[in-house]
Amino acid sequence: MRQIKYRDALREAMSEEMRKDPSIFLMGEEVAEYNGAYKVSQGMLDEFGPRRVIDTPIAELGFAAVGVGAAMNGTKPIIEFMTWNFALLAIDQILNHSSKTLAMSAGEFSNPIVFRGPNGSAGQLGAQHSMAFESMYASIPGLKVISPSNGYDAKGLLKSAILDPDPVIFMESEMQYSDNCDIPDEEYYIPIGKADVKREGTDCTIISFNKMVKTSLLAAEELAKEGINVEVVDLRTIRPLDIETIVASVKKTNRCVVVEESWPYGSISSEITYQIQKNAFDYLDAPIKRVTGADSSMHYAANLVEAYLPNPSRVIQAVKSAMYK
């Protein structure tokens, strides 16, 4: 094992696959000459050249469309959005073209493309740069949605996403790019659609994804000091959802708290709650609790950012509410 940054794990995933397959290329704003807005693609232009690491204009709709068309013609594009907030400009290409290629061609051909970039809040960036989009893209048939919580998972899942025949939405966290992670020296892949139990427990299940897994683990550590043994399940993949792992954990602990960064209405936590009640209702000893972002836009002020986001204290309160009703 060796320790590298989250951003370096992403770069390794792309570079390893690009060395094997010349049809894979990276395209996006500042990915080449500037080495990436967050230095994820640092050095890739030098290795692969300007035909495979391609700087684009500030035009998400345009370069997303180029990627979708290229995928229809036999290549495997990786399209980097500087933030998923900006990807709203490309939603027509993702929703009306990429996600529907397989269905509209009657299964004749798919659209093997990865759309990736940072998602969710990253401090004081204001309302237009702080949204978490997992639930929006997960609602679209034809897309796979991945939202990893650490560099190890991100590398293995990104490699699998690049090889996947379907379009994949890959959502990272800007706040985690500098996090250290242990990466094996040997090559590895993590299957899409498989959750991971990050902490074993018996008293209550916390289900989360992306950087909220870190928040959930901090809450679990504090709860352990009070004798409450919490299990933390990291979804890793939002669509397809690993219902089997979720249900198995709830059947073991009989209680559940779902933690996510996004808005509560129409959320991933809503879908998880439905799936648990459908598949494990008789095992629940208390109503399912959820901890989400506030049902509002995120404002710039630091105290309002703090009030908006889930934190360990709110997660602890939710677990205790499930434990003691």
Structure confidence by residue, pLDDT tens digits, 17-34: 999 999 999 999 999 999
Does position 7 have pLDDT exceeding 70, yes or no?
A: yes
Domains of the chain, start order = 2-183 (3.40.50.970), 196-324 (3.40.50.920)
Cα gap 6→294, rounded to integer Å: 28
DSSP string computed for 13-40: HHHHHHHH-TTEEEEETTSSTT--TTST
The model's confidence at residue 325, banded by pLDDT at 50, 70 and 90, is low
pLDDT (tens digit, 9 = 90+) per residue, 294-322? Answer: 999 998 999 999 999 999 999 999 999 99
pLDDT at residue 324 in the model? 85
Cα gap 188→190, rounded to integer Å: 7
State what percent of residues in the chain have pLDDT above 90. 96
Pairing of strands 144-146, 237-239: antiparallel
Catalytic site residues? 60, 129
Cα gap 151→136, rounded to integer Å: 24
pLDDT at residue 181 in the model? 96
Assigned token pair, 301: 């002020």
Cα gap 35→149, rounded to integer Å: 23
The model's confidence at residue 2, banded by pLDDT at 50, 70 and 90, is very high
Region of 36 on the Ramachandran plot (φ > 0 left; ψ -120 to 50 alpha; else beta): left
Would you say 2 and 183 are in contact if contact means Cβ atoms under 8 Å apart? yes
Q: Count CB neighbours of 123 within 10 A.
A: 11
Angle at alpha carbon of residue 48, lines to 159 and 21, rounded to 5°: 45
Would you say 302 and 124 are in contact if contact means Cβ atoms under 8 Å apart? yes
Does position 51 have pLDDT exceeding 90, yes or no?
A: yes
Would you say 183 and 209 are in contact if contact means Cβ atoms under 8 Å apart? no
pTM over 0.85: yes
* Average pLDDT of the residues of the chain: 96
Cα gap 55→247, rounded to integer Å: 44
pLDDT at residue 123 in the model? 86
pLDDT at residue 160 in the model? 98
Q: Which of 26, 6, 7 is nearest to 113 (CA)?
A: 26
Q: Please state the rounded mean pLDDT for residues 68-89.
A: 96
Q: H or E stretch including 290?
A: strand 289-291
Q: Please state the rounded mean pLDDT for residues 180-190.
A: 97
Q: Please state the rounded mean pLDDT for residues 249-274.
A: 97
State what percent of residues in the chain have pLDDT above 70. 100
Cα gap 162→56, rounded to integer Å: 20
Least confident stretch, 79-93, 123-137, 141-155: 123-137
Q: Please state the rounded mean pLDDT for residues 250-263.
A: 97
Q: Which of 208, 193, 207, 120 is nearest to 157 (CA)?
A: 193
Does position 270 have pLDDT exceeding 70, yes or no?
A: yes
Does position 115 have pLDDT exceeding 70, yes or no?
A: yes
Q: Please state the rounded mean pLDDT for residues 191-204.
A: 98
Residue 222 makes CB contacts below 8 A (sequence gap 6+) with: 312, 316
| Coarse DSSP helix, strand, coil percentages of the chain, rounded to the nearest 5 percent | 40, 20, 40
φ, ψ dihedrals at 135, nearest 5°: -65, -35
Would you say 276 and 245 are in contact if contact means Cβ atoms under 8 Å apart? no
Does position 265 have pLDDT exceeding 90, yes or no?
A: yes
Does position 37 have pLDDT exceeding 90, yes or no?
A: yes
Tokens 């559940």 identify what position?
Answer: 256
